[in-house]
Structure formats: C-alpha cells, structure tokens
C-alpha cells in the first residue's frame, strides 16, 4: 500500500474525511500526539487499526468527537462529566463513560481534540473517529508527520500532515464509570486540576512507581533508556559519571539537573520536556545511542512525563537512596 501525504488545507481535510468515511486508515495531528484514525462505526476499519499497530486486541481505543454535543449520542454523561467537559474540552482529557451503542465492554473513552485541523477533520467526517497513537504498539508515539511515516509508511492509506504536537504526550484518561474518578493514564491535565474542577477526590490506577519491572515497557525506543531519580546535586554527580562511562549516550531531562557538557534534550521546564520527549527518544534511536534520563521530582504536573519515562526505561531506575545504600554496603562511604 502507498501511504498518501495530505496537506492540511481545506481540500486536504475534505479528502482525509472522505477516506475515513470510506473505511480507510488516516493519521492526523492532534495537540497530544498524532492519532491513527478510523471511522468508529466501521468495525472492519477499526480492526485494521489493531493490525496496522500490532496492538493487543484487548486494549480499547479512544473515540474522538467533534464537540460536546456528541457525548450524549455515544455515552451516558453525569454531572461530573459535564463539569469536566466545560472546563477542559477541547483538550487533552479523555473521559471513560458508560457507553451507548458503540461496540466495546459497555464503556467508551471520548475525547475532543483541541488541534484545529483535527476538529475540522472530525466535523467534515461527521462520524466519531477511533484513534490510538499512530505508532506500532509499544513504541514512542509520533509527535510529527515524519515520525508517523517512520512508523506507518505502507501500512495506512494516508497521513494528514499538520504541525508538530504541542502537548507531546497522550491525553489524561479519566474513568468516570465508578463513584470515585480514577486516572487510568496521567497526562497534561493533572490530578489536582481535575480534583479542583470537581471539588472531589480523584484516585489513580497504577501510578508509575507502582508498576513493577519490564512488563510495562511501552513508549520505548529500540535503544536502552536508563533513568536516574534523586536530588539535583546527586543527579548532576551521578549523571556526569554515567555519561563518562557511556560517552555516546544522550541526556534527556531538565536543564537544571544536566551535568556540565551533557548533550541531548536539556529542557527549560516540564512543559518543554513533555513536548520534546518522544522526539528525543526517536533521535537517540536513529543515532543508535543509549539514553540517560533524569526523572523529574514527583509532583502532580510531572505525573505524565514521569509515567512515560518510567515505561520507556522498562523500569530501569537508579534511585538516590538505593545507590547510597549500595555504596554503604560495599564500603564505598567511609
């Protein structure tokens, strides 16, 4: 199959929408990452998403809608859902709600993207669009049209080639099917923001620190990623040593914790780290060099980027306390 690159002008958006309606797979830009879209009402098109991504069939897809007025058609929304939609839509918040009529386990995950090209596409298509990230399963998500082609060239009909994603990691997924709202996947909209909007407690299912081991390798490039967690001073020292031992490795983290002479992604703040993370992982992969990454300190705003780094590393973390204990154990500290 030849994958067509479509310009994101009015004619291109109309063409992409027509392809989706005809059962084709079309990748498109959103503010989080590029999505791999199919008409959610067309079972065979949706099945082709799983084949193109080699995605496990038990991992459901997010359904993208053109506006809040679509919610009632596909889901049962309660007062909490409407409060959150008022506050955060369009944007990187996916709501899991009891489903009305769409195939699945009785629930549906809905999101309205903020990227105007995605909004025009959904409006033109006049169908809900199922779209996971446009990468092969387990790999870093694409944040540019070029990265989509690296993942999907020859596997899908078209890519609507828009601008790079501005958020850079996938949406926050919030389960509203039970009495307590539960974050299933952390993202740009954090637990405190949601709790504040709802004036209620918000739980989280499987925070990054609770997920043990390599079972959770995901969002991962094809090169080793080693993660370091600790205070700024400790990080600068440890990272300098690690980079000395593997001089070809690149650094990914905040500039504040980068050792002198580090090359790679030295992000000014969490926002930049989040936006540039997947691109930096892809760069390391293209150059076939390992990654040495500094884990940002835990905070509600850092939860998304911590989760992606943790999974990219396959749980390979060196923690300050453990390291010092190892040194004590081996008599390195007098």
Shortest spacing between CB 136 and Mg ion, in angstroms: 10
Under 8 Å CB-to-CB from 267, ≥6 apart: which residues?
A: 253, 254, 255, 273, 276
* CA nearest to 151, candidates 68, 221, 209, 83: 221
Helices (H), the chain: 10-21, 43-53, 71-74, 79-88, 116-125, 145-152, 191-198, 232-245, 270-287, 303-312, 320-329
Binding of residue 108 to ligand AMP (CB under 6 A): yes
Shortest spacing between CB 147 and ligand AMP, in angstroms: 15
Stretch that binds Mg ion, among 127-135, 152-160, 190-198, 268-276 (CB under 5 A): 127-135
Binding of residue 114 to ligand AMP (CB under 6 A): no
Q: Which of 39, 94, 99, 133 binds Mg ion (CB under 5 A)?
A: 133
Under 8 Å CB-to-CB from 303, ≥6 apart: which residues?
A: 183, 186, 190, 191, 204, 207, 208
96 binds, among Mg ion, ligand AMP, none (CB under 5 to 8 A by kind): ligand AMP
Binding of residue 115 to ligand AMP (CB under 6 A): no
Q: Show the binding pattern over residues 77-116: x = contacts Mg ion (CB under 5 A), - = does not.
A: ----------------------------------------
62 binds, among Mg ion, ligand AMP, none (CB under 5 to 8 A by kind): ligand AMP
Under 8 Å CB-to-CB from 331, ≥6 apart: which residues?
A: none
Looking at the DSSP bridge assignments, the partners of residue 318 are 228
Q: Which of residues 8-37 bind ligand AMP (CB under 6 A)?
A: none
Shortest spacing between CB 139 and Mg ion, in angstroms: 9
CA gap 21, 177 in Å, rounded:
30
Binding of residue 59 to ligand AMP (CB under 6 A): yes
Nearer to ligand AMP, 60 or 290 (CB): 60
Which tokens go with 129? 């669009």
Count of all residues that appear for the chain in the document: 334
Q: Show the binding pattern over residues 175-214: x = contacts ligand AMP (CB under 6 A), - = does not.
A: ---------xx-----------------------------
Task: Summarize as ranges the residues that interact with Mg ion (CB under 5 A).
Answer: 132-133
């Amino acid at each position: 199959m030849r994958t067509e690159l479509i310009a994101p002008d009015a004619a291109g958006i109309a063409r992409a929408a027509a392809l989706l309606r005809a059962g084709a797979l079309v990748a498109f830009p959103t503010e989080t990452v590029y999505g791999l879209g199919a008409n959610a009402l067309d079972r065979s098109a949706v099945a082709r998403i799983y084949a193109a991504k080699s995605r496990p069939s038990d991992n459901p897809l997010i359904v993208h809608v053109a506006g809040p007025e679509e919610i009632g058609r596909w889901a049962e929304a309660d007062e909490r859902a409407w409060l959150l939609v008022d506050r955060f839509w369009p944007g990187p918040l996916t709501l899991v709600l009891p489903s009305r009529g769409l195939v699945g386990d009785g629930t549906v995950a809905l999101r309205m993207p903020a990227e105007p090209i995605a909004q025009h596409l959904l409006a033109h298509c006049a169908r809900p669009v199922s779209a996971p990230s446009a990468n092969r399963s387990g790999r870093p998500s694409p944040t540019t049209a070029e990265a989509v082609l690296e993942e999907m060239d020859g596997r899908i009909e078209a890519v609507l080639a828009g601008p790079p994603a501005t958020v850079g990691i996938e949406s926050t997924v919030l389960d509203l099917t039970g009495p307590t709202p539960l974050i299933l996947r952390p993202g740009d909209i954090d637990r405190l923001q949601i709790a504040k909007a709802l004036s209620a407690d918000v739980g989280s299912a499987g925070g990054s620190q609770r997920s043990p081991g390599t079972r959770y390798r995901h969002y991962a490039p094809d090169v080793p990623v080693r993660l370091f967690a600790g205070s700024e001073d400790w990080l600068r020292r440890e990272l300098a040593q690690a980079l000395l031992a593997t001089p070809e490795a690149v650094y990914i983290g905040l500039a504040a914790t980068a050792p002198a002479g580090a090359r790679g992604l030295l992000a000014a703040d969490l926002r930049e780290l989040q936006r540039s993370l997947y691109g930096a992982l892809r760069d390391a992969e293209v150059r076939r060099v390992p990654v040495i990454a500094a884990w940002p300190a835990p905070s509600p705003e850092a939860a998304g980027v911590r989760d992606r780094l943790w999974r990219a590393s396959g749980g390979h973390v060196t923690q300050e306390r453990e390291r010092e204990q190892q040194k004590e154990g081996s008599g390195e500290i007098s």
